[in-house]
Chains A and B, each alone.
Chain A
């Protein structure tokens, strides 16, 4: 089966003084997370789409699904965990509980706050994960990347080999679960990114080309930019 998992577990602390997590803020006429879900629902290759939200927002999310998506039967709303990877794994647990896990099951995981994802990126992720077992969506770095420790610049890596990570990140579910279970607590502590789970275990992660428009709406600036970008269809 091909699953999608929309990671909406964030509390929106980087957005500043806003009344609710950023994934629920309105972009155009709908909550950001709804725009994101709509893109996944347009792809019939997904059997089930899991949305993982903070515990306090589960009912709220269910109401949004009912209001905007006619309670689409492919959607499941699941409670998230303490951090990104716990949230990711909660989604997988929910899949395991309802459907069981098979060797060839794959999951396309995506930030709920990247609503500008394209059909092409989703398709490339599905094709890529089915072929390679693990893929990450990236765009070539435009700015020079510098490495610094304690305010001292220590390295300027060659830009042609540098990319900026986006999502989706897509995995063979059983391989991901096995790799995550084998990590030490220290290794788990350092994880800010699901693809790193596979990288730490030495499994190859192929890259899929993302898109500049597939940016993450994290700060107030991002939200203002997103609002400015979204146009209306003139009749």
Chain B
């Protein structure tokens, strides 16, 4: 089969590559249906990564969040017509001690190899998660990002001590919102505080105990746990505030991606005996757990649906560029491309 692969070749420019695909045993062909844009894709699109990284990775098809329909299967687990999510993390080795998303050798769609901006995506069936019938397709499109929040939330709870009275979440973007919503479902009694820069974004966190803009946090507010989900240069201020407000022996999960090195007040980390744990990407198991959670919790699904803010039909490369540009000026939530190319 001759596949059309829409690859980024330079800043804001996509070109089609025609690739001969030969389906192997254990693989499936997925027709992408809804693709969700992520900041990581935007950084590639605008050529904001380092020249060394770009030289190594471009040309490459972007997008690692999306859902589609199986159109051909050489796996007994899937049939044409099945709606699925493709897991972007692709391990090439197994480790008994290191999870697939932390193995340096693992590949990742739209980072190390072609993402989902293709006419058809060929994937190992093992990297595909089947969706239940009537699963919300739009939320399915960004389940990858929810699974990243789930990975962070479960890692935090794994290292946290017995004090689970409260959690503080720094950042008011999509990852923060999803992680907060997941923590609220996992521990419904826990108090959730969210700290961000934008009042209008913070107002979406209806399930939170309280939200604060970051320059108005009460001095006496103490937290059992914290999530850093700001990224960029905001990580420094966020981590400083976390160290100020977290109780001794508290636990912190770091999620925000920064291009630069972030200075951290290690003295206070030692004095308070804090536990810091990093979290990045997610595993196939996280996807499956999130699909189960979303299937059983209407409240969580409704909260995730609030993130569907822009839906752009894409029938050509020009439409895809328009979707990336529209996403850039989209203040809240996720931009979804209806993939009709």
Q: Which residues of A contact B (CB under 8 A)?
A: 27-30, 35, 38-39, 41-44, 115-116, 118-120, 123, 213, 229-233
CA gap between A42 and B28 in the complex, in Å: 11
Once A39-B1, A119-B31 are accepted as A-B contacts, the answer to whether A230 and B20 lie under 8 Å apart by CB is yes
Interface size on B, residues (CB 8 A): 22
Top 10 nearest A-B pairs (CB, nearest first) are A28-B20, A38-B1, A42-B71, A229-B18, A231-B19, A35-B2, A230-B20, A119-B119, A44-B80, A230-B18
Does B288 reach chain A (CB closer than 8 Å)?
A: no
Hey, which chain B residues are within 8 Å of A35, CB to CB? 1-2, 20
Does B341 reach chain A (CB closer than 8 Å)?
A: yes
Nearest Cβ distance between residue A168 and chain B, in whole angstroms? 16
Hey, which chain A residues are within 8 Å of B119, CB to CB? 118-120
Partner of A118, one of B17, B71, B341: B341
Hey, which chain B residues are within 8 Å of A233, CB to CB? 19-21, 122
* Contact residues, B2-18 vs A (CB, 8 A): 2, 4, 16-18
Once A213-B18, A230-B18 are accepted as A-B contacts, the answer to whether A39 and B29 lie under 8 Å apart by CB is no
Q: Are A232 and B1 in contact (CB under 8 A)?
A: no
Hey, which chain A residues are within 8 Å of B249, CB to CB? none
Hey, which chain A residues are within 8 Å of B122, CB to CB? 233
CA gap between A119 and B122 in the complex, in Å: 15
Partner of A232, one of B4, B20, B29: B20
Q: Are B71 and A43 in contact (CB under 8 A)?
A: yes
Q: Are B19 and A116 in contact (CB under 8 A)?
A: no
Q: Are B340 and A120 in contact (CB under 8 A)?
A: yes
10 contacts between A and B (CB under 8 A): A35-B1, A38-B1, A42-B1, A42-B31, A120-B315, A120-B340, A230-B19, A231-B17, A233-B20, A233-B122
Give the nearest-CB partner of A44 in chain B. B80
Interface residues as binary, B104-128 with A (CB distance below 8 Å gives 1, 0 otherwise): 0000000000000001101000000
Number of A-B contacts (CB under 8 A): 58
Does B303 reach chain A (CB closer than 8 Å)?
A: no
Nearest Cβ distance between residue B166 and chain A, in whole angstroms? 48
CA gap between A115 and B4 in the complex, in Å: 11
CA gap between A41 and B29 in the complex, in Å: 12
Q: Are B71 and A44 in contact (CB under 8 A)?
A: yes
Interface residues as binary, B309-320 with A (CB distance below 8 Å gives 1, 0 otherwise): 000000100000
Give the nearest-CB partner of A228 in chain B. B18
Hey, which chain B residues are within 8 Å of A119, CB to CB? 31, 119-120, 341
CA gap between A187 and B3 in the complex, in Å: 39
Q: Are B19 and A42 in contact (CB under 8 A)?
A: no
Hey, which chain A residues are within 8 Å of B80, CB to CB? 44
Partner of B72, one of A42, A120, A229, A232: A42
Does B81 reach chain A (CB closer than 8 Å)?
A: yes
Nearest Cβ distance between residue B320 and chain A, in whole angstroms? 13
Hey, which chain A residues are within 8 Å of B29, CB to CB? 42
CA gap between A42 and B122 in the complex, in Å: 12
Chain A CB within 10 Å, residue with most, of B19, B20, B71: B20
Nearest Cβ distance between residue B109 and chain A, in whole angstroms? 13
Chain B CB within 10 Å, residue with most, of A30, A232, A233: A233
CA gap between A29 and B1 in the complex, in Å: 10
Does B22 reach chain A (CB closer than 8 Å)?
A: yes
Chain A CB within 10 Å, residue with most, of B22, B81, B122, B341: B22
Hey, which chain B residues are within 8 Å of A29, CB to CB? 20, 22
Nearest Cβ distance between residue A80 and chain B, in whole angstroms? 24
CA gap between A123 and B119 in the complex, in Å: 12
CA gap between A165 and B87 in the complex, in Å: 40
Partner of B18, one of A38, A39, A120, A231: A231
